[in-house]
Amino acid sequence: MNTHVVIDSPVGPLTLVADGPELVGLYMNQQRHRPEDETFGAPGDPEDEPFASTASQLAAYFTGDRHEFDLPLKLKGTPFQQRVWEALTRIPYGETVSYGELAAELGNPSASRAVGLANGRNPIGIIVPCHRVVGSTGSLTGYGGGIERKRFLLDFERSHHPAEESAALF
């Protein structure tokens, strides 16, 4: 049974949704493909897990002190969506890849549109960093949280990105 809490962030309120000890959702207000609020379950206790750890790690992320997350996640989607979302977690902090590059990594270079659709359905934004995927020209396209939020997250990560950590994507 799902429970949820709402926390503040620099990109606006974030709704965290848990199924027991696992985080199953992180949604922004007015996010495209945001489920109906009724699906989030009853209000949870912000001091309970995984809410407390998620809020703590997000706070550290938004100060530039955390570049990776270590949380129990349960990503609910098709097998293809899950493959895309897992690949998103390998995109280094402060870097971007194109939809085509991600499709090629998944073994199907012609599937950039399908990758984009799966990316748009990512249920755990920020933590599963779908904001790090851009158009083939580097354009900021296709972010369910809105282009301004995507720009904010990418600019924030670039400004807090230690150059010596820069590495190839895959």
pLDDT of residue 76: 94
In this prediction, residues 54-72 reach a mean pLDDT of: 97
Do residues 29 and 90 share a domain? no
Q: Are strands 133-134 and 97-98 parallel, antiparallel or unpaired?
A: parallel
Has residue 72 been placed in a domain? no
Do residues 120 and 160 share a domain? yes
Considering the entire predicted model, what is its pTM?
0.90
Q: What angle in degrees, to the nearest 10, is found between the helix axes of 112-120 and 79-88? A: 80
Element (H, E) at 15: strand 14-19
* CATH code of the domain containing 46: 3.30.160
> Could you report the per-residue pLDDT of 113-158, keeping only the tens digit for each?
999 999 999 999 999 999 999 988 777 776 777 789 999 999 999 9
Do residues 99 and 155 share a domain? yes
CA atoms within 13 A on the CB side of 122: 27
Do residues 46 and 109 share a domain? no
Do residues 57 and 6 share a domain? yes
Do residues 15 and 84 share a domain? no
Residue 57 has pLDDT above 70, yes or no: yes
What is the domain count for the chain?
2
Please state whether the peptide bond connecting residue 50 to the residue before it is cis, i.e. omega within 30 degrees of 0: yes
Expressed as residue numbers, the domain containing 110 is: 79-165
CA atoms within 13 A on the CB side of 159: 10
Has residue 74 been placed in a domain? no
Q: Supply the residues annotated as catalytic.
A: 130
Residue 165 has pLDDT above 90, yes or no: no
Q: The tokens 């010596």 sit on which residue?
A: 164
Residue 39 has pLDDT above 90, yes or no: yes
Do residues 57 and 100 share a domain? no
Has residue 71 been placed in a domain? no
In this prediction, residues 75-97 reach a mean pLDDT of: 96
